[in-house]
Structure 1
Amino acid sequence: MYRNKGLLITLALLLLFAQTSMVLAEEIDQSEPKVRVDGQLLRPEVSPIIESGRTLVEMRSIFEALGAELEWDGETRKVTAHHGDKVMMLTIDRMTAILQGQAYELEVPPRIVEGRTVVPLRFVSEALGADVKWEEETRSVMITTDHEALSVVQEVEQEELPEEIASWIEYSQNTWLAQEKVVEDIMYLLVTYGEKPTGGYSVDIQQVMESEEEIIVKVSFTQPGEEDIVTQAITHPYDLFAMKPTEKPVVYEVIGDESYVPTLVGLETLSPILAESRGIKIFRPAPEEKVATSFTFEGIANVFEGNVLYRLSNEEGEELVFDFTTGAMGDWGAIEETIEIPETVEAGETLLLEFFTESAKDGSIQDLIEIPLHVEKPL
Structure 2
Amino acid sequence: MAFNYFGRVLTVLILTTVMLVGAAQAAAGADTIRIVVDGQPINSSPAPFIQKGRTLVPVRLVSETLGAQVDWHKEDKTVTIVKADKDVKLRIDNRLVDYDRGNEFGVTDVSPEIFNGRTFVPLRLVSNALGVAVEWDNDSRTVFVDSDGVAAITPFFEMDIQTVQPGQTIPGITQLAVIFKNDDPSGAAEVKYLLLDPETGRGPVIARGDDINAAYQWLPDQLHSGSRVLAAVINDKNGRFLAGSVVPVQVAVSPWVALTGLQSGQDIVDSVSFKADLNFVAEYVRYEITNQVTGNVITTGEADPQGAYSWTPQLTDNGKTIVRAFAYDRYGNAHESEPVAINVNVKRQLTLRGIAPGASVERPDTLYLSRNFAISQVDYLVKNVETGKEEILASQKGYASYRWFPVPQQVGTWELTARVKDDAGNVFTSNSIKVKVPGTPLLLLKTVGPEEVLTGTTKLKCETNVPLNDITYYLIDSQTGAKRVIASGNDVTAEYSWTPQEEDEGQWRIQAEAVTAEGKKLITEAVPIRVYLGKTYQSRPVIEKSKFLDFAANLAKESREKTGMSAALQTAQAILETGWGQYTPVDKYTGQMSYNLFGIKGKGSAGSVISNTWEEYNGNKFRVDAAFRAYANAGQSWTDHKKLLLSASRYQPFREVMYDGTLGAWALKRAGYATDSQYPLKLMRIIKLYDLHLLDEEGI
TMscore range, shorter length: 0.3 to 0.5
Q: Give the TM-score normalised by structure 2.
A: 0.23
Instruction: With the length of structure 1 as denominator, give the TM-score of the two structures.
Output: 0.38
Determine which structure has more spread, i.e. the larger CA radius of gyration.
2
